[in-house]
Structure formats: structure tokens, C-alpha cells
């Protein structure tokens, strides 16, 4: 019985000691903590150059395609207009 009491005291003392040690430890690092982008490890950093090149290339190509599209539509309408005016002139003279 005395042995049991002694064991119980030892276990409780160890548990209390463990709880005290745990309470003194710093809190675990939060997962949503802010980390500046330039302090990320290299494997987590995105290279900027491909994004920049893609953005500028897209702008240039889209503007060029639009200018070509409007110019082609304008040429087509201009040709149709000249053909119609020609037909009207021939109709008037005939």
C-alpha cells in the first residue's frame, strides 16, 4: 500500500512537472502568419520574368491583331463600296 502511494505521488509529480514544462514552451508557429514574398524559400518563389514577358507579349500581340482586324474589315468594305459605286455609275450611263 505504501509502495502504491509512493508510485502515485511520483506519477502525479511527473505529470505536474510535464505540464509546467509544456506551459513554458513557446506557442507553435501559426500557419497563416505573414511571410514577406522575398523571404520565401527558393522552391516556393515564382520567377517574375516569364510573367512579365507573357504580359507584354500578350499586349503587343492583341493590339497588333486588332489593328490588322480593323484594317482588313475596312479594306473589304472599301472594295464593296467601290464596286457598288461602279455598278451605279454603269447603271446610270446605260
Partner 1 sequence: MPKSFMPLAVVCGLMFAVSPILIADAPYESTMGLVQKIFYVHLPSAWMFLLGAIVCGIASVRFLFRGDPRQDRLAWAAAELVVLFGVLTLVTGPLWARKAWGVWWQWDVRLTASLMGWMVAVAYLLLRKYGGPGSDKLAAGLALFGMANVPFIYISVNYWRTIHPTTSVVPTLPTSFGVPLWFSAATFLLLFLLLLRMRVRLEEQRARVDALYLSMDA
Least Cβ distance, residue 54 to partner 1 (angstroms):
6
Q: Closer CB to partner 1, residue 5 or residue 90?
A: 90
54 binds partner 1 (CB under 8 A): yes
CA distance 90 to 15: 110
∠ Cα 83 87 88 (to 5°): 120
Cell numbers at residue 23, please? 506551459
Cell numbers at residue 7, please? 508510485
Q: Which stretch binds partner 1 (CB under 8 A): 2-10, 16-24, 25-33, 58-66?
A: 58-66
Q: What x-and-dash track marks residues 9-38 binding partner 1 by CB under 8 A?
A: ---------------------------xxx
CB atoms within 10 A of CB 75: 10
- Out of 18, 62, 68, 89, point to the residue binding partner 1 (CB under 8 A): 62
68 binds partner 1 (CB under 8 A): no
Contacts of 37 (CB under 8 A, 6+ apart): 45
80 binds partner 1 (CB under 8 A): yes
Amino acid at each position: 500500500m505504501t509502495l502504491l502511494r509512493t508510485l502515485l505521488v511520483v506519477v502525479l509529480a511527473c505529470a505536474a512537472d510535464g505540464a509546467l514544462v509544456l506551459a513554458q514552451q513557446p506557442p507553435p508557429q501559426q500557419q497563416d502568419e505573414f511571410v514577406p514574398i522575398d523571404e520565401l524559400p527558393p522552391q516556393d518563389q515564382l520567377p517574375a520574368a516569364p510573367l512579365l514577358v507573357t504580359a507584354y507579349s500578350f499586349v503587343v500581340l492583341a493590339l497588333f491583331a486588332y489593328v490588322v482586324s480593323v484594317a482588313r474589315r475596312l479594306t473589304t468594305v472599301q472594295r464593296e463600296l467601290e464596286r457598288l459605286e461602279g455598278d451605279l455609275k454603269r447603271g446610270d450611263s446605260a
